[in-house]
Amino acid sequence: MKFGVLIFPGSNCDHDAYWTIQQVAKQPVTFLWHESHDLEGCDAIVVPGGFAYGDYLRTGAIAKFSPVMESVRAFAEGGGLVLGICNGFQILCESGLLPGALTRNVGLKYICKPVDVRVENADTPFTGACRPGEVLTIPIGHMDGNYFCDEPTLRELQRDHRIVFRYCERDGEITSAANPNGSLDNIAGICSPGRNVLGMMPHPERASEPELGSVEGFRIFASLLGAMAEK
């Protein structure tokens, strides 16, 4: 089971994801350069957080044209597992692998803090180690995390159970007060129709070791390992 972590100019969470996969999950992992088409036989791809291409134009707007994303699109269309974290979620939306867009936080401020998210769908390769309705505490760090889509798309996401995480109170209640960025329907993460592509704003790699204050984010990586083992 081999992971690939993409690197764009401006990526700054690539080494965090690499460390979590190599040192915590104890799995083979390699960096994949943005100018290369070669995914090097990886079984799962992580599109990490950061500021790809300086977030010029829009977050993810330039990264979607990179050679590596052409290969990631083909990989995902073939059923390959792709996890986009924060800026990675933004890139996946810009690339058309996920619907909607991530816009400026409603408060127009960068937010960096732990948040609680409720697992809305535990039947994905990314949440198989979680329970439906379970609340996970995972940090966020973003300026453009306000998820938006049109009404038909939202209804489709709701109908097909493709909303995977929603911002919530510690007891699991979904409230506007628990929504840190104004995201539509408190959405913190969604998946593709085939469930093989996940975009999420919280950073699970920042909550994967006791030294970081939480290990609840590691459930995402543990779920991926379980899904890959089943293949």
Check 94, 120, 205, 216 and give the catalytic one.
Answer: 205
Check 42, 86, 149, 168 and give the catalytic one.
Answer: 86
Q: Is 203 designated active site?
A: yes
Per the structure block, which two tokens stand in for 37? 């088409």
Q: Which helix (H) or strand (E) segment is 197 a member of?
A: strand 197-200
- Euclidean distance between CA atoms 116 and 172, whole angstroms: 8
Q: What is the sign, positive or negative, of the torsion defined by CA atoms of 100, 21, 72, 59?
A: positive
Q: Residue 147 pairs with which residues in a beta bridge? A: 102
Residue spans of beta strands (DSSP E) within 48-162: 81-85, 101-103, 111-119, 135-142, 146-148
The answer to whether residues 138 and 214 touch, using CB atoms and an 8 Å cutoff, is yes
Q: Is 151 designated active site?
A: no
Q: How many other C-beta atoms can be found within 10 angstroms of the C-beta atom of residue 69?
A: 24
Check 149, 191, 203, 216 and give the catalytic one.
Answer: 203
Q: How many other C-beta atoms can be found within 10 angstroms of the C-beta atom of residue 205?
A: 31
The residues assigned a catalytic role are 86, 203, 205
